[in-house]
Structure formats: structure tokens, C-alpha cells
């Protein structure tokens, strides 16, 4: 028996907003669209949901195809379904954002997929409603960053306090008072100071820190 035959069929896709942090800037991974309609336009990376997949599985597969990385931090942004959003067919897209450390991304994969990191405040006009997806994803990430230490997903395992502050400034789009920021950081038991020193910025160098997940799980009062 055929069900729902009286209803029109629509396509379902996923689009991935992949955030990275490099050289003090929040970046998004975009590329030129390789298919019609919109061939050659700047676009997020995405794909259609297969019949045997859930939307979360489709997003995870898409992210792995692009980055080669598993177990990425990924959250759903929402559904985008304007009738005229895709001139090819009636397509409803579920957007997800993911956070990766830029240094973990294999340069060969980036070149294979012909994508590049673009500063979020310098994004060009993207295909269809992809700019709206990025704006909504950034808003959600900012909200999450205030209550969960998701920013560490964008940093290397060892980082300086300057790097950490620049990350929060890049995501929030505003400067933070250095003294107040460091005072708050030192109150967090899950940010551990190591004996290692990074001398890439000056001869004196700066101590390197790391995120202690176990200590964080024992701290119910995190807020920055």
C-alpha cells in the first residue's frame, strides 16, 4: 500500500556551519558551490539526507566527509524551509554548527574539497539563505559559550590565557577587560596552569594552560 501519495514530496538536506579559530579570528569554512543551481557561488558545505539516515547521522557523515574528523562538537541550528530558498527543487535544510581546531584539519582534505577558512566578519554573500544560517549559528554559539566551555573545542590542548581571551573576544565580537577576564579564569579549577611556556610571542614567554574536563564536570557553577 502506498501512503501519503496525495501529498507533494520535498527534499531534505543538511548544511554545516563549521567554525574554527586561527590567528585571533573566528572563521567559517566555505567553498564555491560545485553543482547547479548556484554553481560557483560561495556556499556552506552540505548534502542530502539518505533514506536510511536520521538527520543527525547525515550531518555527522557530511562533517566527516569534509574534515576526516570524528566526534566533533555538533549542535542543530534549526530548519530552513522558505518555499523559494532553492530554485532547483522544494528543499528543506536542517543546519548544524560544529567546532574544530583548525590545526587538526588535514590541509589535503581542505584542498580536495576546495574550501577555505574565511573570517566571519568578512563573509561574502553566500548561496540561498546560508548567511542567515551562519548568523543564527553564531547567536546560538554565543549563548552556549556563556554556560559551557565549548570554546576549548576551538583551541589546541595547550593554550595561553591571551589565546583564550582572544577566542572569547572573537566569538562575542567585543573586547574584554584583561584584568577582569584573568581574574575570572583563575577562579575556574578546570583551567589548569602547566609548567610549560610558550615563547613564540616574546622572549619571556607565557605559561600554557589546559582544560580539565573532570574538574569541569565537578563544577556546577560555571559561567563566563
**Phi, psi of 45, rounded to the nearest 5 degrees:** -100, 135
Least confident of 30-44, 79-93, 120-134, 181-195: 181-195
Euclidean distance between CA atoms 73 and 138, whole angstroms: 14
Residue found by looking up cell 611556556 in the block: 197
> What are 98's strand-pairing partners?
18, 74
Residue 122: other Cβ atoms inside 10 A: 9
Q: 9, 113, 159: which is closest to 151 by C-alpha?
A: 159
What mean pLDDT value characterizes the chain? 91
What is the DSSP track for 16-76? Answer: EEEEEEETTEEEEEEEE--SSSSTTSEE-EEEEPPTT--HHHHHHHHHHHHH---S-EEEE
Distance of CA 140 to the CA centre of its chain: 11
Cis preceding-peptide flag for 121 (omega within 30 of 0): no
* pLDDT on residue 5: 86
Comparison of pLDDT for 14 and 7, the residue scoring more: 14
The mean pLDDT of 147-157, rounded to a whole number, is 91
The grid coordinates of residue 60 equal: 555527522
Examine the pLDDT at 106 and tell me if it is beyond 70: yes
Residue 158 · residue 208 · CB < 8 Å? yes
Over residues 137-162, the mean pLDDT reads: 93
Strands, E assignment, 109-160? 115-119
Q: Say whether pLDDT at 221 is over 80.
A: no
Secondary structure (DSSP) of 78-113: EEE--TTS-SSS-EEEEEEEEE--GGGS-HHHHHHT
Percent of the chain with pLDDT over 70: 95
The pLDDT score that the predictor gives to residue 45 is 96
Q: Is the pLDDT of residue 25 over 90?
A: yes
Q: Name residue, grid cell 573532570.
A: 214
Residue 10 grid cell? 520535498
Amino acid at each position: 500500500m502506498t501512503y501519503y501519495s496525495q501529498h507533494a514530496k520535498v527534499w531534505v538536506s543538511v548544511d554545516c556551519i563549521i567554525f574554527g579559530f586561527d590567528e585571533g579570528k573566528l572563521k567559517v569554512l566555505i567553498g564555491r558551490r560545485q553543482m547547479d543551481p548556484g554553481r560557483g557561488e560561495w556556499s556552506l558545505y552540505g548534502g542530502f539526507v539518505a533514506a536510511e539516515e536520521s538527520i543527525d547521522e547525515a550531518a555527522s557523515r557530511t562533517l566527516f566527509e569534509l574534515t576526516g574528523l570524528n566526534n566533533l562538537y555538533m549542535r542543530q541550528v534549526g530548519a530552513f524551509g522558505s518555499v523559494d530558498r532553492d530554485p532547483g527543487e522544494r528543499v528543506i535544510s536542517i543546519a548544524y554548527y560544529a567546532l574544530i581546531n583548525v590545526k587538526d584539519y588535514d590541509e589535503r582534505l581542505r584542498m580536495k574539497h576546495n574550501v577555505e577558512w574565511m573570517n566571519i566578519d568578512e563573509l561574502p554573500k553566500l548561496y540561498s539563505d546560508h548567511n542567515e544560517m551562519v548568523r543564527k549559528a553564531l547567536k546560538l554559539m554565543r549563548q552556549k559559550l556563556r554556560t559551557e566551555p565549548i570554546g576549548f573545542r576551538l583551541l589546541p590542548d595547550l593554550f595561553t590565557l591571551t589565546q583564550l581571551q582572544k577566542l572569547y573576544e572573537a566569538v562575542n565580537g567585543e573586547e574584554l577587560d584583561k584584568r577582569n577576564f584573568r581574574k575570572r579564569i583563575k577562579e575556574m579549577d578546570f583551567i589548569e596552569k602547566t609548567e610549560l611556556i610558550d615563547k613564540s610571542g616574546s622572549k619571556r614567554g607565557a605559561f600554557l594552560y589546559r582544560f580539565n574536563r573532570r574538574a569541569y564536570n565537578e563544577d556546577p557553577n560555571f559561567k563566563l
